[in-house]
Amino acid sequence: MIKFSKRYPKWKYFSGYLKLLKAHYLYFDHLKIDFKNPKKLGFLNMGGYQADLSKLRDIHKGKRVFIIANGPSLQDIDMSLLKDEITIGCNGIYKAFDDWGFHTTYHMTEDQEQTELRGKEISTLKGPMKFAALHNAHAFSLCNDITFFHVPLRMNSSYYTQEGLYPQFSRDFASIVHLGSTITYIMLQFAYHLGFKEVYIIGLDHNYGQLPELFPPGKIEVTKENYHLVKQCHYDENYYKIGDVLGVPNVKLQESAYQAAKEYYEKDDRKIYNASTLSKLDIFEKVEFSSIFQKEKNCEK
């Protein structure tokens, strides 16, 4: 279903429809020009976003990855240690790339308002392989290098909130991706698809200050009155500006999703660690970030 957010300009509807229709067509196999891998049909081959995602299955099998969330504790991390690691980032994390001196290996976005807010910048972002939810194709430039994944229904649907259905975890990212009230849950499904055995999460503070106490789960506008609360929730206090829209999370739904991810990983003899500092999330085993690399140094001696 094609649906824009309330803040998406009406004068962009026509071009938005075209972008969405194009992305839906390109999602499934179709004839395309492929100069890198010519086959029997010359440069004409069959492919699509779904096929591209399928090719990524288990490409990092048995390795480790660092998922980078956007919490304030990210400022306490020595990011230089991750320069040669495989990393997955999300949303506005690209704002830190220049300071780090490197970019994440992968970048993801799903939330509609978040994607509409940052789509133009993400479209021009160079470096990471970029992935976004199919229903947000309208937020990017018509010609882009983004691979779209399929999220079947939005979070306000009973499909996700009905008892016995939520949370669900996808073990085939190319076919379907499930929501968990946080982009981190999508990154965990993506990491599973790529075959990682160990996942270390940083910047996952799971602490939203007073926002969940003052506002119900859902979207709110950043105003002068709540800006001091909003800027406490991310690694960069200028992550949002006044007039932007952000989501107040449903913390209980997030925790249910994290628990599901933990169980699916452990069933397959894989492990998720929380290497964030000052994190309020206790579902994943906590480890000290620097200790991950200290063990390697000791082994080298």
- Whether the full predicted model's pTM is greater than 0.95, yes or no, is no
190: CB partners within 8 A, 6+ apart = 88, 106, 108, 131, 173, 177
- pLDDT for 300 equals 56
Measuring CA to CA, which residue among 268, 289, 230 is closest to residue 75?
289
10-residue averages of pLDDT along the chain (301 residues): 82 94 90 62 72 97 98 95 97 97 97 94 96 96 94 65 80 95 97 98 95 92 95 93 93 95 98 95 96 72 52
- pLDDT for 224 equals 96
- pLDDT for 172 equals 96
159: CB partners within 8 A, 6+ apart = 152, 153, 165
Q: Which domains does the chain have, with CATH numbers?
A: 60-300 (3.90.1480)
From CA 185, how far away is CA 274, in angstroms rounded? 13
- pLDDT for 231 equals 92
From CA 65, how far away is CA 47, in angstroms rounded? 28
Which amino acid, one-letter code, is at 3? Answer: K
